[in-house]
Structure 1
Amino acid sequence: MEMETLPNGNSATATVTDAAAASATMTAPPSKLNQLAEFLKLEHQFLRVPFEHYKKTIRANHRIVEKEMSVVISGVADVAGGDLSRDVAVQHLNSLVFRLQGLKRKLEEGSRTEHLQAQRCRARLDHLESADAENLSEWSNTRLKRILVDYMLRMSYYDTAMKLAESSNIKEFVDIDVFLEAKKVIDALQNKEVAPALAWCAENKSRLKKSKSKFEFQLRLQEFIELVRAENNMRAITYARKYLAPWGATHLKELQRVMATLAFKSSTECATYKVLFEPRQWDYLVDQFKQEFCRLYGMTLEPLLNIYLQAGLSALKTPFCYEDDCSKEDPLSQESFRKLALPLPFSKQHHSKLVCYITKELMDTENPPLVLPNGYVYSTKALEEMAKKNNGKITCPRTGSVFNYSEVIKAYIS
């Protein structure tokens, strides 16, 4: 007997606005409206990422203005209060004017960038508001392509992601530029360079501090380890005093452990310190950066594709899926899906339906199940057709056993 469970309709949710759901037409079928509402609950990342990128650009432009204006005001004060000759004062003021002109160009460029990012936020809002029951199929297709591009970007398939986005005309709906920004840091870490990652930490210092991130500390530790590996101990000590000592109040134990490598060195066989010199430490830094990057932009830590697949698999997962005679039509009959669903709980099912192994049709009171002498169950329609074609003989498709149609017993569904 093959059982195929009915999902409850549960899905992963995220705390996002579902204002676009209000734009759905009231004449649409309730089932489609409900489906649309569930879709919109999962669009948190779709709106959050461009908004965070927009805010980051505004903050960067603000910092540039503050820095440049501080220098200009200080320069004017020096000219006004200093005992300078007329020519020197004019030359000094001219240099400040050139600096202000440079600031103007930077602000014009920054303004264009802000405008483009604001347009992207608006395009995404419009896309969500355009969703209704009539164009649900087309809208869902676009959504699927967005999810695939997100997966490709996270897996570092940048060229493929860009080609799919361009061919599908969804460049405004995906975050290629954001991931390309992360790519520079990831490539550098894979090449055992920490400078771009440290620059990224400095650029986002306030937000990383607010989230109590220790990523910068881990980068500093790795840089110290590389100095010890190169047996440049004096430089390592100087580096530790300047960059690691400020972290002592909050990360003393880790700091003490790393400082001990000065005595053990990179050739040590002591497991506690040997692990610090292993190449996998760089892989750990890459993974940690990806997590910090996702948190910064409000992204899910897992690819959206995995989340959606797990949401669907959690509704389909039952103990029967892991039996040897699980139907090949069940997604969980495939090893890759079983692996993805492994940490998920079994689905809570209130109702089940019986599906015939032969015809794949529902077995109910109109097409009741019949039990063969070997215990396998098939639909009345399937066995009657088989008996007609084989002079009353029935062959069990699973075991190959042959029976007379008169031997089957009717099963009753309670």
Structure 2
Amino acid sequence: MELNSIKDAFDRVTKKQKLYSSKIEEVIDQISQEIEKALDNIQSASSSDSVIDHRSVLSELHTSFHNAAPLTQLEGPQKELNVGLTKYVKILEKSCNPDISKAYRNFDFDIHTLNQIIASHFYHQALFDIGDQFIRDARESEAAAVMKSPFQQMFQILEAIWYHDLRPALNWANTVSDKLSQRGSTLLLKLHAMEFVEIVRRGNTNEALDYARAKLAPFASTHMDDVQKVMVCILWSGKLDRCPYIHLVSPNWNWLYEDFKKEFCNLLDQSYKSSLSTTVEAGVQALPPLLKFLNVMEGKRQEWQTMTELPIPVELDSKFHFHSIFICPVSKEPSTEDNPPLLMSCGHVLCKQSIAKMSKNSTKSFKCPYCPSDIDAAQCMQLYF
């Protein structure tokens, strides 16, 4: 792989650089010893009142330097390092083609949408001042900054979580509890569980029991296993570091921090990571094979400008596999607003028109094409991608 060849070349340069540094230290030590020897001769002569010719001492020092030839000793290692650096640069230029303009295509961007994406990226990173300045410089209306306020609220809550203060997070989760329930989210349970553990950590057993009755008991009917694991922590009061459910009692709350951020962004209809950073990261992976192909097609750039899809398969990491549309497995057609995907009672999904045909416009039940379940079209639920 190209990455391996680049790493090998880098390792060779690093090795030569270390050898060169060692040689420099050796030469410096040698010169220092000769200078110290000359100084000792001068000082010993002065202390014994003997007459010494300083010129002869300097002459001997000059002869020592000439015989040692420090510059000559460094020429060889320096030349090897320069050769290694030159080869490394050539490998980089060959493997990492800096001219990415070949992959450019004429495309009419919606500048307003693009500006919103860039501003949203800054707000995703809590760079609110930069986002505001960008909107002003881009001469976007103040309405473009409407996404700023929710992200400010999110980062204020995340900062509190970082310092183990769950009150802002719990207040927010309680206000949107219905939406979280509709999504099947367990965030509110997790927050109550961690607050319960913090009360146990402070040694307030009775307070912890009261909190469990008020906040955890309502989840028992649907999440009994999770509630039981949380309640076990009270048996380890004063020795939580030995509790078997280490993820609950660990002082590292990074997982809770990330879970909250994901749920908050989902309710904003925003991705967990900014669209801009995701696009750039995916583009970095897709660009090398695309540039290779375009190098082969040198002189045929006009064809590239008219292509409606990528001319070669580009493999991206699984984290870039998004399902923004649904293809009906029966009709083989993509879903639309008029023909949305519907979830059947068995858990399989078909498009509305396919279900209408199979159910004779909802006049009778039909069998799922993937399992033997009888399906009532009236019970099918619309899915949103």
TM bucket, shorter chain: 0.3 to 0.5
Q: Which protein has the larger Cα radius of gyration, Structure 1 or Structure 2?
A: 2
